[in-house]
A and B are shown apart, each in its own frame.
Chain A
Amino acid sequence: MIPSSFTYKRAGSAEEALGLAAEHGDDAKFLAGGHSLLPLMKLRLAAPEVIIDLGGLRDLSYVTDQGSYVAIGALTRHHDVEHSELLGREVPLLAHAAGQVGDPQIRHRGTIGGSIAHADPASDLPAVLLALDATLVARGADGAREIGIGEFFQGLFETALEPDELLTEIRVPKPASAAAWSFQKFTQRAIDWAIVGCAVQDGRVGLVNMGGTPLRAAAVEAALAGGASPADAAAHAAEGTSAADDIRATRAYREHLARVLVARALTEANSRS
């Protein structure tokens, strides 16, 4: 399978990437690691006329300690997130979950920023960053702005980013209790997208593939805040969700999985903290 024709442009800097995006508008798409966009282009589900390759922007690949939070450059690859000592110590949930994305080859190319900006509700890291209450930094022609992860995902593959904005950094607050985490994912084969997944950190619960966007399990969090046990809180895991019926699973099965996985995750997070 071969993508439909496009013009390839390689950006040498974030400024150049923003200039190219402004020049080409809606016809252009940013390409980070390419492991979400290229498969869609090969299936002709996406057909941008211009590809702006960000792969050369090495200055957007970093993990740094900023005191109260860890700053991660948007072009940091899953492999580098997985093996970051700083994240392993301060935000083990994220380091672990990055190591569960796809397979080693995919983790050598795919980036955290690309995964978030793609906004696939079935991908792992959006739900993880929801559980971590991350803040995103986007740069546009008029400068940078911060976007709370809770406002970022607006629909299926839709985000709060403007067409001429570039996601540049993910800021992850250091969890109050770094050890109180769990990441659960149910797949048919090792490399598949999650049928359902969940991420837990400090009583916040992010759900994978339980609706059109990645989402927080608000009813579970409220039950926990009210003193419910993990088992009782997890019974609320499907409330407020809108999981799909598809070839892999029915909605009812997904709702069942959500309750089971959230119960496991809350129990594991409790046992670690």
Chain B
Amino acid sequence: MKVDLTVNGKDITADVEDRMLLVHFLRDVADLTATNVGCDTTSCGACTVLLDGESVKSCTVLAAQASGHQVTTAEGLAANGEMHPVQRAFHQEHGLQCGFCTPGMVMAIVSLLKENPHPTEEQVRQGLEGNLCRCTGYHNIVRAALAAAEVSS
């Protein structure tokens, strides 16, 4: 079937299988590989992207469902050569170890801060309950989220 998505502001039309998952569309059709496939069971959050500005797990969305909608991946966050405040905060707070969960964590935090620009530490931890870090590096990820909220205020 023909799908037509706007990914990071760019229109992408493709003929795909009806059963294609959004995460595979992003990686294999749009050639955007920041979005990782982790657990593939809606648990780990590594595949988190923004769909119409809100965080979703792209392993549990069909490309067909996203047709006609806006998708933002980690590749789409930087503007004018400047990292997004959440990306910069991850860099400054050492919010990553192996890096596998990082794109999903960053996208989840972008969505969280859009809904709640000044979260408490508790709210950040609850807001990230859908994202697992296999290095268990949660403390610095939470610090990065709080630092990004501080910068944006």
Chain B residue at smallest Cβ distance from A53? B65
Is A25 an interface residue when CB atoms closer than 8 A count as contact? no
- How many chain-A residues does the 8 Å CB contact rule pick out? 28
Is B54 an interface residue when CB atoms closer than 8 A count as contact? yes
- How many chain-B residues does the 8 Å CB contact rule pick out? 30
A-B CB pair tally, cutoff 8 Å: 79
Q: Which of B1, B17, B19, B56 contacts A109 (CB 8 A)?
A: B56
B40 touches A104 (CB 8 A): no
Q: Is the interface of B mostly helix, strand, loop or mixed?
A: mixed
Is A4 an interface residue when CB atoms closer than 8 A count as contact? yes
B117-152 residues with Cβ-Cβ distance < 8 A to A are 126-127, 129-131
A105 touches B45 (CB 8 A): yes
Contact with A along B85-101 (1 / 0, CB 8 A): 00000000000000000
A2-57 residues with Cβ-Cβ distance < 8 A to B are 2-8, 10, 31, 34-35, 38-39, 42, 51, 53, 55
Is B111 an interface residue when CB atoms closer than 8 A count as contact? yes
In angstroms, Cα B41 to Cα A192, docked, is 12
B41 touches A39 (CB 8 A): yes
Contacts of A3 in B (CB 8 A): 19
Q: Which of A8, A39, A79 contacts B42 (CB 8 A)?
A: A39
Which chain B residues have a beta carbon within 8 Å of chain A's beta carbons?
1, 17-19, 21, 24, 40-43, 45, 48, 51, 54-57, 60-62, 64-65, 108, 111-112, 126-127, 129-131
